[in-house]
Structure 1
Amino acid sequence: MPTITVENATPCRVFEITPGESLLIGSEKCLSRAIPVGCRGGGCGVCKVRIVAGSYHSKCMSKAHICESQAEAGYALACRVYPLSDMRIEVVNQSQAEKACLK
């Protein structure tokens, strides 16, 4: 099972995800509160993270929440990310996300 490390959580959070689970669902099932939860379907953008390391596949994400420059910088919605390997992620606050879109 892929192991996920959330780098900027206090304290640092580590949890495992069952293959085929989204990053967000895996976090919830492990009772980790490292990733904020909203709609669970990509509509709200609350679960935005930055993938620091690891491989994954993802479902389509709204450009209203992940602009092109953010996607290129590793930003994604945890509810739309499916880990294929061990990963390191950072949870993103809204001001960080906005700055990434302006670059």
Structure 2
Amino acid sequence: MSNVYRVVMQQSGQSFDCSAQQSVLKAMEQSGLRCVPVGCRGGGCGFCKVKVLKGDYECGKMSRLHAPPEAVANGEVLACRVFPLSDLIIECQQ
């Protein structure tokens, strides 16, 4: 059985569950919540940018234009390519 983590959206306080094999964006959509626009769902468009404020995660391949290394190091990532390794607190970027 896969690990399931809690993801909290800081601005609204709303939260949803996300498995380690599921992207944060997919879990957010499945829970009926939305805090970022949705585009390509493949890490290329940059629409679903979030900032991870707390927690551990892995990233899939993302466009360096929308998620340059210095931004990723600061927790600014694309929700469609983020997979939790612990509970997360995210800030939705507008």
TM-score of the two chains, using structure 1 as the length reference: 0.82
What is the match of residue 89 of structure 1? Answer: 90
What is the match of residue 28 of structure 1? Answer: 29
What is the match of residue 70 of structure 1? Answer: 71
- Which blocks of at least 5 consecutive residues in structure 2 are unaligned? none
Q: Say if 2:3 is the partner of 1:37.
A: no
What is the match of residue 59 of structure 1? Answer: 60
User: Which runs of structure 1 show a deviation greater than 6 angstroms over 4 or more consecutive aligned residues?
Assistant: none
Identify the structure with the greater strand proportion. 2
Once structures 1 and 2 are overlaid, which stretch shifts more, 19-28 or 63-72?
A: 63-72
Q: Say whether the 8 Å CA contact 2:19–2:84 is kept in structure 1.
A: no
Q: Say whether the 8 Å CA contact 1:27–1:35 is kept in structure 2.
A: no
Residue among 6, 13, 17 paired with 2:9? 6
Q: Say whether the 8 Å CA contact 2:52–2:75 is kept in structure 1.
A: yes
Identify the structure with the greater helix proportion. 1
Give the secondary-structure state (helix, strand or coil) at the position aligned to 2:28: helix
Aligned counterparts of 1:42 and 1:86: Cα–Cα separation in 2 = 22
Residues paired across the two proteins, number: 91
Aligned counterparts of 2:50 and 2:85: Cα–Cα separation in 1 = 16
CA apart distance, 1:18: 2.5
- Which blocks of at least 5 consecutive residues in structure 1 are unaligned? 94-103
CA RMSD for the aligned pairs?
1.1
Once the two structures are superposed, what CA deviation does each residue of 1:15-64 show, in whole Å capped at 9, x if it has no partner?
11133100000000101112321111111100000010111111121111
In structure 2, relative to structure 1, the CA distance for the partners of 1:71 and 1:19 (3 Å cut) is closer
Identity %, equivalent residues: 38
Larger radius of gyration: 1
Aligned counterparts of 1:19 and 1:57: Cα–Cα separation in 2 = 9
